Structure 1
Amino acid sequence: MTGGATPARAQNAATQTAAAPALEQIVVTAEHKPEYEKDVPIAVTSLNAQTLDVLTSSGDDIRFLASRVPSLNVESSFGRTYPRFYIRGLGNSDFTYNAQQPVSVVYDDVVVENPILKAFPIFDVQDVEVLRGPQGTLFGRNTPAGVVKVDSKRPNDDYSGFVDLSYGNYNTLDFTAAVGGAIIPNKLDFRLSVLEERRDDWVHNTNAATAYNKNLEGYTDTAARLQLLFKPTDTLDALLEFDGRSLDGTARVFRANVIQPGTNNLAPGFKVDQVNLDGDNYQNLGTWGTHLTINNDFGPVTLTSVSAYEHGSIRSRGDIDGGNFSVPPPLGTSGPNLFTDETSDSVPGLDQITQELRLSTNGDGRFFNQGGFFYFHEYLRVDSFSYNADGSTAVSMNQTQGTESFGVFDSATYKVTDDLTLGAGVRFSTDSKDYNVGCFIGCFNPIRPTLHTSDSDTTFDLTATYAVTPDMNVYGRIATGYLAPALDGRNVEFDGFSGPAPLSITKAETTTSYEVGLKSSLLNHRANLNLTAYAWDTDNLQLAAVGGSSQGTNLINAKSAIGEGFEVEFEYKPIDELLLTTSGSYNFTQIQDSSLEVGRCPFCTVTNPIDPVTGNVKINHNPLPNAPRWVVNGSARYSIPMNKDNEIYGLTDWSYRSTENFFLYSAKEFTGQSLLLGGLRIGYIDHARGFEVAGYVHNILDEVKVTGAVDFDNLTGFVNDPRTYGVELRYKF
């Protein structure tokens, strides 16, 4: 494994000359154009292809990005199909398929909104850029926390490719390959990339009475991408891409009684490879899409068009109460729950269409401008089921949601002097949603009327960058972001217990962020240091109040929330053979709403004030969920050259996040412990022949902690993967 993000800036020592600097300046496209990172007035971190290949060598999904860059967390209660991103503490723990998040994922310039699209594997990519803070001008709605931007390796005329195969414990197989080159030189190029990841079921279900799966946590995950780059003239190019994914595996494995009451420790006798479930568990996902990117250079300006269609479907079923035995027994009874709390969700159809047009000025003059138009359309249907203890259907319901969004934007920079550059951008966005929920079995009110929401907002950013020296820039940035209104009707399934439940409707969320930073190259280009300090304030923060005595979910708004902190990135190459990196962040978040209350687990140890009238928990001044205050990572790579073309290397990396709340309220049992993950990799590279062989260990300390929970009365939770290890072979041509 390799540490953090900063190795993305490192040049391979074998490709450098004696006169070249030890570290190169990384080029990013955070503003839709290639720029040196130090010149971009945004806190952006780039992970290059080499770093990403190493981090995913054990078949890890996109959650591997958690804690790999400052202020970034990624988690999921659905396993490999539903990542939730948090930047600077700002995110959304809502787990429904129509949820919207304040962190957007942009894959090859295509915005992917639905979580099953955000989970597309990262393979054969040029880099991943994490843009921290609101990106409400160039990337638009649903980016008040930031953007995770993934760029695939593009086709070119050079015939090249690679084959990468790793094999590890749990019969883990990770195969990636790519090939590309010219079909018609200087006119038509292609690149084909494939991924196959497999793991055996390694968690045994000890429930002898269950008729369902006895072994869990295995998967087969396959993805592919085909790109065709057509260059009919020197001023026109068109990139056509097709991609698809198929996943067959298990959903998240929930574990009853995994937490020791009154603490956040794992319960005595816990075994990571055993569960006791009485329900079924499976997960099947399929996605495919295509997009066309056209660039036409008209001389003074370039017109860019990005047209995309994405389709997805999924079936997922899990025993969400983890086996349903309770300690203490629920509601004063002496045995297990009467209901299995086994649920199944499926998306029979997800369709997303996007169209973006950008017009940008050319040349290296003092003035640069880009503006354009963005259109987004999505149709989503979700079918949900809950089951009785005998396996019969207790609740059957569905949700449909149609979304339309338009945006117009313009962004400009002006180089006032050779040292000072000013920038400004503005975007107008409008969103509308039509939402319907119907319940057919087990519900008080079977059919609900279609609801409609409509909202618009104007977001902006202002920036200033000053070159203190040729190797040091300071910048300041004020930016705003916007999250469209949200709708939810899942609580219709609980009407049989508590009467008609209202649909959840949240107002639009708006964020204002203030940021100052320093980006520098030091010690004759053998060290890079980036520093950032920020503060943000969000009005009408959208939150998901999960669980409580009704075991339902409500979408709510907090009047306000604040966040503040700092970020540090440092890398140092004292000698050609040694590269040291470290990065970290401190993120303070706080809910500010004295009237806000939420439900709670009936038997957990709540540490917040409880309203004596309602029995709910007051959450004013609580931190946001899944928002650790500290994120730190570091790495060290040492190379022993055998000759000018061969080297033996050793690499270790470590990532750390501090404690975090799983829910909006604070409870001893649902405060996740700090997590320290380390890795080690030892390998041999023959640069001349393009061959590499390595052995690796991930989670070398075998740290297993509760990383998420369901606040039922039986302290249900789920954990991270234990230690994995294996060998990897790679051949480049």
Structure 2
Amino acid sequence: MRGFRHGPATVRWTGLLSACSVSALALAAGLSGVVGLAGTARAQDATAQAGTQAGAQAAAPALEQIVVTAQHKPEYEKDVPLAVTSLDAQTVDNLTSSGDDIRFLAARVPSLNVESSFGRTYPRFYIRGLGNPDFTYNAQQPVSVVSDDVVLENPILKAFPVFDVQDVEVLRGPQGTLFGRNTPAGVVKIDTRKPNDDYSGYVDLSYGNWNTVNFSGAVGGAIVPNILDFRASVLEERRDDWVHNVNPNTPYHRDLEGYTDTAARLQLLYKPTDTLDALLEVDGRALDGTARLFRANIIQPGTNKLVDGFRVDRVDFDGDNYQNLGTWGTHLTVNNDFGPVTLTSVSAYEHGSVRSRGDIDGGNFSAAVGSPFLSPGSNLFSDETSDSIPGLDQFTQEVRLQTNGDGPFFNQGGFFYFHEYLRVDSFSYNTDGSTAVSMNQTQGTESFGVFDSATYKVTDDLKLGAGIRFSTDSKDYNVGCFIGCFNPLKPTLHTNSSDTTFDLSATYSVTPDMNVYGRIATGYLAPALDGRNVEFDGFSGPAPLSVAKAETTTSYEIGLKSNLLQHRANLNLTAYAWNTDNLQLAAIGGSTQGTNLLNAKSAIGEGFEAEFEFKPTEQWLLTASGSYNFTQIQDSSLEVSPCSACTVTSPIDPVTGNVKINHNPLPNAPRWVLDGTARYSIPLNRNNEVYVLTDWSYRSTENFFLYQSKEFTGQSLLLGGLRVGYVDRDRGLEFAAYVHNILDNVKVTGAIDFDNLTGFVNDPRTYGVEVRYRF
């Protein structure tokens, strides 16, 4: 069993344990108050049974209980001993109405952040501060994305559009037992709508500014009643270019940020008997769009503010910019009920390719002195690069055996196999567009895991759980340089690693509507390899490959989950603390203009999360959630190269000139994440209504890099939305108008620190109209 690190971290962990004690007291205080409410509710129930409040209770609105499949079986969210948030299909559809990609999840769930320096093709997830900002195509993340029980390992697979879904669940904390390697931070679990015998479907069409068109639709039903069902889903998202390149001499695109993004899914459900079913799914995606727009000198020196006169719709590039992606996959899920047990097999194959090219320096190398778009001021340079995956092939196989019935004992166990082959081609270009550097990387990965998880209901109120998993991971990695660089000192590397992860939990029912739980869990992130430093550092001689050892995480969590006020309110509270040994870090950029993988001796995190949902009347629905996440790197010997043009605030080593990062927060890990919504409806008759919905999200400041500086500390970001609509349930129609980012807040959300104050920003205000038809 892994514990917290002793030594220099002891003082900090003493504070952490004190904080957890305070959090526990706060939970206990909240529990006392909520128990009081529950007791009041029971008294009111008794009174109602006596007849004094029967009419009032009959009219009281109630929230539906949330059902999740976080443990591979349907359960009430209240009964699951881990922090999990579920976004239903309606919420997902509203948040993506203007064509938003999977980054729409950022700050919509406690402790969750999502960002990208690649645009729509490469999301990076962070849960409770744990994530990976590495931009290389073979980078691995501590947050796993699982769609219909299939892991999507590579970032270009994780970017698959979210449409026609049943729900999206975010599981916070290590999920090593049931979801395996590369889940020490958590899992984003996507479940699509499945076929059934009922003929049904929908059409959803929206139109917004910049000629944004978002169309999605689905249809399904029985082909052979009770035997063969189908569901077909399609998505088409388009947006015109709305950013103008003011460089009149460029031979490349003059207008940018448009895209055409198309995806489709076909599912066939075969049920030859009452005990056997097989679901075949085929999906695909094609994207033609723009890579991330890096913008030179957009940050005021000595601050983290945008420069005066910044225009989000203008750039001055001398390089090219485009992005093309294609993926497709097929899954086969078979369930065979043998009575006492059910055997489940999930087989999947995924294939993908992508090509992305961008003007990385973010400016015009030949721009006139004084131009606001001048590339990097006094240190002129031109940086235009392209990365592509000519071929990505992933195969996974999982077999699970789980017990059936309502008895006190439940068990599920099985094995998992993962195979991936990946090739990455990288190019760097001269100012005339000719190739200056050409290299490629290949990586083959094989992983195997065997696991078992069990729960036992000791009494009607107490349930205990335990799980264990053994995982192995093997990688073969090769780098080849062809133009402008040297082959690395060791062009081929092989890594082997293994780890045993576990979880222990206890759930106690204080009342029928309130549970408290505790959980200890561990997670494992396999070793990482990178060869891009060969491209950046290999001009003067052979450069070494970059390797990071496996990291392991131990997490402690306590929580409360409750239904209050005759199920008119839900309240969840969580306090947690985690420790990671050999934390994998990516040192990107700096004065060396390189990228290197590192291991910190340790990192810690602690915080709390709260979620509240309240339906005071039939017309009102209110939700609020929030989290506080503290993270800290703990390695007194670890240093990185800083930027040359920014105001560094971390301690500088006078001997090496590097920056010490001990006690710094993790990148892209805001302390505070808040979210809230309010919906008010005006019934016109029994089945028609007009409604107003507003949604808001907030994240506090965040650090972009491992070191700290004034310029590369992202400002807090508040995003608001408004939706006004009319619903005709008799005809299955809905008409709505929407606004996203209603305050038009545009902030720097990421940066490149090579040689200038280059950054990228979030989208400005978007708005439009939408019509939905459901049948």
TM-score range for the pair, normalised by the shorter chain length = over 0.9
Q: Per the alignment, in what secondary structure is the counterpart of residue 620 of structure 1?
A: coil
Is the CA contact (8 Å cut-off) linking 1:328 and 1:714 kept in structure 2? no
Which residue does 2:308 correspond to in 1?
A: 268
What is the CA–CA distance in structure 2 between the aligned matches of 1:324 and 1:553, rounded to whole Å?
24
Q: Aligned runs of 1:412-427 on 2, under 5 Å?
A: 412-427=454-469
What is the CA–CA distance in structure 2 between the aligned matches of 1:535 and 1:197, rounded to whole Å?
41
Which residue does 2:571 correspond to in 1?
A: 529
User: CA shift at 1:323, angstroms?
Assistant: 1.2
User: CA shift at 1:111, angstroms?
Assistant: 0.4
1:169 aligns with 2:209: yes
Is the CA contact (8 Å cut-off) linking 2:488 and 2:544 kept in structure 1? no
Is the CA contact (8 Å cut-off) linking 1:670 and 1:709 kept in structure 2? yes
What is the CA–CA distance in structure 2 between the aligned matches of 1:373 and 1:392, rounded to whole Å?
49
User: CA shift at 1:436, angstroms?
Assistant: 0.3
User: CA shift at 1:712, angstroms?
Assistant: 2.2
Letter in 1 for 2:433: G
Letter in 2 for 1:601: C
1:579 aligns with 2:645: no
User: CA shift at 1:450, angstroms?
Assistant: 1.5
User: CA shift at 1:31, angstroms?
Assistant: 0.1
Task: Give TM-score, length-normalised by structure 1.
Answer: 0.96
Is the CA contact (8 Å cut-off) linking 1:544 and 1:554 kept in structure 2? yes
What is the CA–CA distance in structure 2 between the aligned matches of 1:714 and 1:623, rounded to whole Å?
23
Q: Per the alignment, in what secondary structure is the counterpart of residue 210 of structure 2?
A: coil
Is the CA contact (8 Å cut-off) linking 1:134 and 1:143 kept in structure 2? yes
Say which of 87, 91, 94 aligns to 1:54. Answer: 94
Q: Which segment is superposed worse, 437-446 or 475-484?
A: 437-446
Is the CA contact (8 Å cut-off) linking 1:433 and 1:454 kept in structure 2? yes
What is the CA–CA distance in structure 2 between the aligned matches of 1:365 and 1:328, rounded to whole Å?
76
Letter in 2 for 1:507: K
Which residue does 1:213 correspond to in 2?
A: 253
What is the CA–CA distance in structure 2 between the aligned matches of 1:222 and 1:111, rounded to whole Å?
21
Q: Aligned runs of 1:214-233 on 2, under 5 Å?
A: 214-233=254-273
User: CA shift at 1:550, angstroms?
Assistant: 1.9
Q: Aligned runs of 1:521-600 on 2, under 5 Å?
A: 521-600=563-642
Q: Per the alignment, in what secondary structure is the counterpart of residue 680 of structure 2?
A: strand
1:616 aligns with 2:658: yes
Which residue does 1:684 correspond to in 2?
A: 726
Q: Aligned runs of 1:306-325 on 2, under 5 Å?
A: 306-323=346-363
What is the CA–CA distance in structure 1 between the aligned matches of 2:260 and 2:323, rounded to whole Å?
11
Is the CA contact (8 Å cut-off) linking 2:516 and 2:559 kept in structure 1? yes
Q: Per the alignment, in what secondary structure is the counterpart of residue 636 of structure 2?
A: coil
Q: Per the alignment, in what secondary structure is the counterpart of residue 587 of structure 1?
A: strand
Cα deviation, 1:12-68, whole Å, max 9, x if unaligned, reads xxxxx9568510110000000000000000100000000000000000000000000
Q: Per the alignment, in what secondary structure is the counterpart of residue 382 of structure 2?
A: strand
What is the CA–CA distance in structure 2 between the aligned matches of 1:360 and 1:616, rounded to whole Å?
53
Q: Per the alignment, in what secondary structure is the counterpart of residue 254 of structure 1?
A: coil
What is the CA–CA distance in structure 1 between the aligned matches of 2:657 and 2:447, rounded to whole Å?
40
Cα deviation, 1:532-588, whole Å, max 9, x if unaligned, reads 000000000001000011211000000000000000000111111000110000000
What is the CA–CA distance in structure 1 between the aligned matches of 2:497 and 2:644, rounded to whole Å?
38
Is the CA contact (8 Å cut-off) linking 1:126 and 1:151 kept in structure 2? yes
User: CA shift at 1:494, angstroms?
Assistant: 2.9
Task: Give TM-score, length-normalised by structure 2.
Answer: 0.91
Is the CA contact (8 Å cut-off) linking 1:58 and 1:166 kept in structure 2? yes
Cα deviation, 1:691-714, whole Å, max 9, x if unaligned, reads 000000000000000000000222
Letter in 2 for 1:516: I
Cα deviation, 1:421-447, whole Å, max 9, x if unaligned, reads 000000000000000001111113368
Q: Per the alignment, in what secondary structure is the counterpart of residue 265 of structure 1?
A: coil
Which residue does 2:180 correspond to in 1?
A: 140
Say which of 425, 438, 442 aligns to 1:383. Answer: 425
1:399 aligns with 2:441: yes
What is the CA–CA distance in structure 2 between the aligned matches of 1:634 and 1:334, rounded to whole Å?
40
Which residue does 2:495 correspond to in 1?
A: 453
Q: Per the alignment, in what secondary structure is the counterpart of residue 138 of structure 1?
A: helix
Letter in 2 for 1:572: F
Say which of 502, 514, 522 aligns to 1:472. Answer: 514
Letter in 2 for 1:133: G
Which residue does 2:712 correspond to in 1?
A: 670
Is the CA contact (8 Å cut-off) linking 1:558 and 1:591 kept in structure 2? yes
Which residue does 1:195 correspond to in 2?
A: 235
User: CA shift at 1:269, angstroms?
Assistant: 1.4
What is the CA–CA distance in structure 2 between the aligned matches of 1:203 and 1:174, rounded to whole Å?
20
Which residue does 1:716 correspond to in 2?
A: 758
What is the CA–CA distance in structure 2 between the aligned matches of 1:171 and 1:337, rounded to whole Å?
39
Is the CA contact (8 Å cut-off) linking 2:376 and 2:755 kept in structure 1? no
Is the CA contact (8 Å cut-off) linking 1:324 and 1:714 kept in structure 2? no
Identity %: 85
Q: Aligned runs of 1:56-455 on 2, under 5 Å?
A: 56-323=96-363, 339-445=381-487, 448-455=490-497
Q: Per the alignment, in what secondary structure is the counterpart of residue 177 of structure 2?
A: coil
What is the CA–CA distance in structure 2 between the aligned matches of 1:298 and 1:571, rounded to whole Å?
40
Is the CA contact (8 Å cut-off) linking 1:328 and 1:603 kept in structure 2? no
Cα deviation, 1:485-513, whole Å, max 9, x if unaligned, reads 01111111134545332111111000000
What is the CA–CA distance in structure 1 between the aligned matches of 2:604 and 2:313, rounded to whole Å?
40
Letter in 1 for 2:716: S
What is the CA–CA distance in structure 1 between the aligned matches of 2:429 and 2:169, rounded to whole Å?
42
Is the CA contact (8 Å cut-off) linking 1:370 and 1:410 kept in structure 2? yes
Which residue does 2:63 correspond to in 1?
A: 23
Q: How many residues matched? A: 714
Q: Per the alignment, in what secondary structure is the counterpart of residue 98 of structure 2?
A: coil
Which residue does 1:14 correspond to in 2?
A: none
Is the CA contact (8 Å cut-off) linking 2:376 and 2:757 kept in structure 1? no
Q: Structure 1: any 5+ residue segments left out of the alignment?
A: 1-16
Cα deviation, 1:141-183, whole Å, max 9, x if unaligned, reads 0000000000000000000000000000010000000000000
Is the CA contact (8 Å cut-off) linking 1:339 and 1:389 kept in structure 2? no
1:488 aligns with 2:523: no
Q: Per the alignment, in what secondary structure is the counterpart of residue 502 of structure 1?
A: coil
Which residue does 2:31 correspond to in 1?
A: none
Say which of 645, 656, 659 aligns to 2:698. Answer: 656
Is the CA contact (8 Å cut-off) linking 1:438 and 1:448 kept in structure 2? no
1:603 aligns with 2:645: yes
Is the CA contact (8 Å cut-off) linking 2:568 and 2:614 kept in structure 1? yes
Q: Per the alignment, in what secondary structure is the counterpart of residue 78 of structure 2?
A: helix
